[in-house]
Amino acid sequence: MTKRVWDQFLTERDQQVFEAAGYGQRAGFGKRPVLIVIDVNYNFTGDRPEPILESITRWPNSCGEDAWEAMRHIKRLLHAVRTKGLPVIYSTGDRRADGWDRGSWSWKNKRTRQWGAGHDLTQTHLDGNAINHEIAPMPQDIVIKKLKPSAFHGTPLSSFLTRFQADSIIMVGTTTSGCVRASVLDAFSENYRVTLAEEGCFDRSEASHAINLCDMQAKYADVASTDECIAYIESLPGGLFELPAGAPD
């Protein structure tokens, strides 16, 4: 069996237990997938590839160079998905000018005041919640604004998936242990099949990235290579979806 990124973090007993408990079965792809790209905005990528501990001084939520490496793979996925005419949904953060809607985030993080005001520290004039230009949305794509980890929580995402008659989700983005995991959880709970394109997921913590992939692969989603996801997408028939027009009506 192939080595997985989480193997090094598991204890010996853990390996046996997951197997014995029956977890980790392959769910498989669905028939009507959408691509969801979670929170790949400047807050989480920074404005340029640089070591995470440097980037984080200006962008408190930055995941550093791993974000830029992941975006290379997200780009490939976006290309395949757009070529095939599948829906693309991005999520990103939102905030009031006075920051009141941070709510519970402000209880657990002491730098939340810098989340929406990165330009003060970075002098880039970039909006931290803007999707990174490397993988910017196109007019027919859908952008979901959210306040909490899951792209489903307090948003119309589930109604959009029903509208598309989607049965499955290919997901990438950040952080693996935060907004990706929360979104996977809600998708699983709503009975969508979920596949994570592994190289398109990133996190600020190496252990959290690995173990959260492990948890999701065990219980909620398939963790597959981007290549496999692309091969699957290319195998689908065209014309599956009627996409948003993009142009003003």
Does residue 2 touch a second copy according to CB under 8 A?
no
Residues constituting the chain = 249
State the nearest-atom distance from the C-beta of 188 to a second copy, in Å.
5
Exposed / middle / buried, residue 175 (Cβ in 10 Å: 0-12, 13-18, 19+): buried
Angle subtended by helix axes 181-189 and 206-219, to nearest 10:
10
Out of 9, 69, 130, 241, which residue is the one contacting a second copy (CB under 8 A)? 9
Query: Would you call 206 helix, strand, or coil by DSSP?
Result: helix
Does residue 100 touch a second copy according to CB under 8 A?
yes
Region 106-165 residues binding a second copy, contact defined as CB under 8 A: 107-113, 139-140, 142, 147-150, 153-163, 165
Does residue 52 touch a second copy according to CB under 8 A?
yes
Which is nearer to a second copy, 75 or 207 (by Cβ)?
Answer: 207
Does residue 1 touch a second copy according to CB under 8 A?
no
Out of 3, 104, 125, 138, which residue is the one contacting a second copy (CB under 8 A)? 104
Which is nearer to a second copy, 76 or 217 (by Cβ)?
Answer: 217
What's the CA gap between 51 and 138, in Å, rounded? Answer: 29
Which is nearer to a second copy, 136 or 234 (by Cβ)?
Answer: 136
What's the CA gap between 177 and 182, in Å, rounded? Answer: 8
Does residue 237 touch a second copy according to CB under 8 A?
no
Angle at 206 between CA 127 and CA 118, to 5 degrees: 15
Among 38, 82, 135, 30, which Cα is nearest to 243's? 82
What's the CA gap between 162 and 133, in Å, rounded? Answer: 29
Q: Residue 175: is the preceding peptide bond cis (ω within 30°)?
A: yes
State the nearest-atom distance from the C-beta of 196 to a second copy, in Å.
13
- Interface characters, 182-201, with a second copy (x: CB under 8 A): x--xx-xxxxxx--------
Beta pairing class for 33-38 and 168-174: parallel
- Interface characters, 54-93, with a second copy (x: CB under 8 A): --xx--xx--------------------------------
Starting at the earlier edge strand, list the strands of the sheet with 222-224: 142-146, 88-93, 33-38, 168-174, 193-202, 222-224
Out of 50, 205, 225, 228, which residue is the one contacting a second copy (CB under 8 A)? 205
Structure tokens at 80: 């395949």
Q: Which stretch binds a second copy (CB under 8 A): 15-23, 75-83, 127-135, 227-235?
A: 15-23
State the nearest-atom distance from the C-beta of 220 to a second copy, in Å.
7
Query: Would you call 80 helix, strand, or coil by DSSP?
Result: helix
Does residue 178 touch a second copy according to CB under 8 A?
yes
Which is nearer to a second copy, 26 or 238 (by Cβ)?
Answer: 26
State the nearest-atom distance from the C-beta of 14 to a second copy, in Å.
4
